[in-house]
Structure 1
Amino acid sequence: MTVLQDDRAALSAGPEDALLARARDRKPVLSARLVAWQKQEGRHHLPWQQGREPYRVWLSEIMLQQTQVSTVMGYFQRFLQRFPDVHALAAAPLDDVLALWSGLGYYSRARNLHRCAQVVVTEHGGVFPGRADVLSTLPGIGPSTAAAIAAFCFSERVSIMDGNVRRVLSRVLGWGQDLSVKAHERSLSAAAEVVLPVHGGDMPSYTQGLMDLGATLCTLRKPACLTCPWSDLCVAREEGRPEVYPVKSRKLKRSQRDHIWLWLTRGDAVWLEQMPDKGVWAGLWTLPLIPDDAAMTELVGPSWSAQLERLPRIKHVLTHLDWWLTPVRLHVPEQGPSVQSLVERLHAVNLSGRWVPLADLSNWGLPAPLRRLLQG
């Protein structure tokens, strides 16, 4: 079978009909080849692959969102040591969870992880639901994560649809419509359901195979088409331009933010304030964020302003934001009326502020750039 031989009947139809026709034509071969390839060539060494316990799979899937495997592996092991099951995680204080998550980024994942554990314990008796549609109602679990848990742990015939899978399937099925358009993404999701294995027992290998294919062969740039198990079935390879798939025209708009980081020390302690429950670094502890020099002078008062030490700016790169942070250090004595006056002004800005011993910082949820600054 050549790649385009069975597609000709669909050429006169609309793009969605053509996509589904390609999916139906390739269905039995795609899944069988991917399952066999994954068993022989796929990844089997990852710590969350040891068994099909839903808690481990769920934890790994949340951590792997927009984060590289190499980064996640250490965090995954430390989380299991501290929170070996969903009951332990649900019972832990949120600050403990955020402290252990520190440096992994996208901290809303940690807050949702904690909330989800509590819901699983209180509403599901500590047992993860076995269906994707129910899993997706839990905090922080979207459709693709729900599908991964259901496929890996319960052999449900449901397709994941993360960035790697969109790329792999859009190439093999030649789906060149703009995935920024929700209707086009739904069409690809429908095709993904068509090509699923017939037998649920193949779902763990098939799902892992999709992930492995996207991570190791069908990469964003310079895909290794010659060693791909779907090579002779792939529309994008037949066209000779796999890199143009997937099509996504809407670009993320980046913004810029600038703050002064007021680095106050007193003895062996540093002044930290807790961020609000929403926004970047929500719930984390940080140095006071001051909008500009005038606001900083007003906060610390004229008597302290002459002692401020300005350090080089730090650029903190987020998905949607370049955040410039200028540390300004000030060491204050242990006691005295002027120190008490400064603390009162700081409390007026953020009631959660407190002195934290440097030796205890590992127990506090800090943003990664702050932890590097204080430890460096």
Structure 2
Amino acid sequence: MDTSRVLRVTNVVLLLTAYQMHWFEKKSQRFRLSLPGVVNIFVLGVFYAGCFSQHFDSKSSLLIVLKNVSPFMFVLTRTQLFLGAKVFAYSVYSSVKSVGALNSLVESLPTRNSGFRKDEVIAYILLGSTFGTLFCFVLYISYEMKFELPPLEDAMIGLALFLPHLILSGSLRLYIVLAWLTRGQLKQFKNNAEEELSDNLIKEEDNVASTSFTISTKSSSVANLDNLKRKLEILGANFRFFFQSIQHSLIFLFAMNGNCLLGGIYSYTYYWNTWHVIFEDRKRRIFYAANASIYACIASDYICLMLVLFMMEKERMNFIKCLDFFLAKRNALSKRVRPLAKDITKVLKRSFYSKFDSIIPFNISYLSLMVFVQLLIIILVVMFHYLNDEILLLKEELNSKDN
């Protein structure tokens, strides 16, 4: 896997989605502020301001219908709008803030490895899976609309809700790719440590070589393991620093996803019961596709994130098991190598743990719990509104019968 190539492709994607204003220089292996990136953000900001203002057009037929059909859905739209405005501003700040931590982490990764391999293909899949899912839905919706553009005002209203989400999701993609590259470096460190300990173990068991050669071999093994321990400490510290720089972006994205899911589930519930009567067949299919795209894209992001978290934790545990295997052979390792193996184990156990504001651990278990709680709250809110509306309709029906 060529780390530089993966970072360059990631950088191009983040520039196109306006999450980054920096350009990755292949020679220096650093992200630096670029004029095209700044201009891109400025132009997009002006365009976003125009889209934002459309939500306050009192003559907009789309907003009038939305407010009349479902006031609660209108409130959710406004919530997403104002949350998106904050997100857009924070994304610019977060991109500038995280570049220092990003450069530090990149320095801990190898500049070049062997050619195009499976790990690099997986990195590109993780980077573009959500875009691929979204493209399929957009293509189908465009087909159903006979490739005709919607009214400009309606399109701008939709883009005001979508653009901040698209930009902020770049933080998640950046984390996923960097976590995957860190996992690859962790695997390389494990192979190096296993090789050094195996060589030391063989020399100790066979006792074939001369005394001078054995001493030089032990000294080399000690130096290599000590160097590996330092690199591992630096990698773990830089990865935590990088996570801390983008943790609030991930929290913002989690909140936006929650509001999108609430809007999607709420609209589908009411559409399935009542709203479908005001749609014709073609528009019904468009609604179903647009509604399903919300779940599909969010699920794609969460699945990629959980996959990376799982693979990284698996690699860390494999490293620890490998060291424990050699440490179990009490008399096989020299007195100078054994403490180093224990130190590396301690580094692995205390490093590569990330927490939101040093409180909530960021791992697959807690992430699954957060998603479950979020979905539970959304279901309860939708049920409350649905049952409340049904009770009101029942009261009106009973009153009409009494009259």
Note whether the superposition's TM-score is higher than 0.5. Answer: no
Whichever structure has more helix as a proportion of its residues is: 2
Larger relative contact order (Cα-Cα within 8 Å, sequence gap ≥ 6): 2
TM-score, with structure 1 as normaliser = 0.28
More strand by share: 1
* The structure with more radius of gyration: 2
Q: State the TM-score, normalized to the length of structure 2.
A: 0.27
